[in-house]
């Protein structure tokens, strides 16, 4: 996150980010000394072309782009179009040529009103709060956005000790109020269609065993929606 990069920079350690994928043998953009913006993944790598499609997807072309998937022409045709690699990522290029990642195309939420919302940055902002271990924004084909939140066990124990409360932290009014305050703060920086109207604190962490996380700890949104369908529906019950 931008905040983490700023923290390390405050210690005198500048982290240079590189963005790319296996299909372009590594680099699409690269941050370098004198070319760093915290939160951006830098300008385009030398010798590589990059542009943003109408739907916000990052497209890449160059000698580093692969020729296709082995014995899978259908997948190749879907990924390589007129020589451009369709990354599956969403982004924006600023006036100085720096790329800003805004989300994954497959994670894009389309509301009932037809508005496209990339949940990645919203979730990232919520996870900056010490109490929040995971946040999953929900709202595909819904009238408004909501969020499922899991609580960090160690942080919640410290919070309750300071507050003088005890018992199940997911039902602690003081802790719930703290999460609501965090969401209110995040909402202040969002467009109206992106704002979270309700949230639910889940009774447990997301897990690999439960099917909600991949082995590399990425959230499987479809599995989260399946396993916590009742909690999601409750947020849309008038």
Rounded Cα–Cα distance for residues 58 and 66 (Å): 16
pLDDT of residue 189: 92
Contact (Cβ atoms closer than 8 angstroms) between residue 65 and residue 44: no
The string of DSSP letters for 148-194 reads EEEE-HHHHHHHHHHHT--S-GGG-HHHHHHHHHHHHHHHHTS-GGG
What is the average per-residue pLDDT within 178-202?
Answer: 96
pLDDT of residue 102: 87
What is the average per-residue pLDDT within 188-198?
Answer: 95
Rounded Cα–Cα distance for residues 136 and 119 (Å): 8
In the chain, count H helices and then E strands: 7, 12
Does the pTM of the predicted model rise above 0.95?
no
H/E run at residue 78:
helix 73-79
Asked if residue 238 has pLDDT above 80, the reply is no
pLDDT digits (tens, 9 = 90+) for 146-180: 999 999 999 999 999 999 999 999 999 999 999 99
pLDDT digits (tens, 9 = 90+) for 98-146: 999 988 888 889 898 888 898 988 999 999 999 999 999 999 989 999 9
């Amino acid at each position: 996150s931008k905040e983490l990069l700023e923290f390390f920079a405050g210690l005198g350690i500048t982290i240079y980010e590189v963005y790319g994928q296996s299909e372009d043998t590594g680099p699409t953009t690269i941050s370098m000394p004198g070319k760093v913006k915290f939160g951006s993944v830098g300008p385009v790598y030398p010798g590589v072309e990059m542009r943003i499609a109408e739907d916000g997807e990052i497209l890449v072309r160059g000698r580093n782009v692969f020729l296709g998937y082995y014995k899978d022409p259908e997948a190749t045709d879907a990924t390589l179009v007129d020589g451009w690699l369709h990354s599956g990522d969403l982004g924006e290029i600023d006036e100085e040529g720096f790329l800003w990642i805004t989300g994954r195309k497959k994670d894009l939420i389309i509301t009932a009103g037809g508005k496209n919302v990339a949940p990645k940055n919203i979730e990232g902002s919520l996870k900056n709060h010490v109490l929040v271990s995971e946040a999953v924004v929900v709202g595909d084909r819904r009238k408004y956005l909501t969020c499922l939140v899991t609580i960090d066990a160690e942080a919640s124990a410290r919070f309750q000790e300071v507050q003088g409360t005890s018992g199940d932290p997911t039902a602690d009014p003081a802790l719930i109020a703290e999460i609501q305050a965090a969401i209110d703060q995040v909402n202040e920086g969002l467009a109206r269609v992106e704002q979270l109207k309700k949230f639910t604190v889940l009774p447990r962490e997301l897990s690999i065993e439960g099917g909600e996380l991949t082995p590399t700890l990425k959230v499987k949104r479809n599995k989260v929606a399946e396993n916590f369908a009742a909690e999601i529906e409750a947020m849309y019950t008038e």
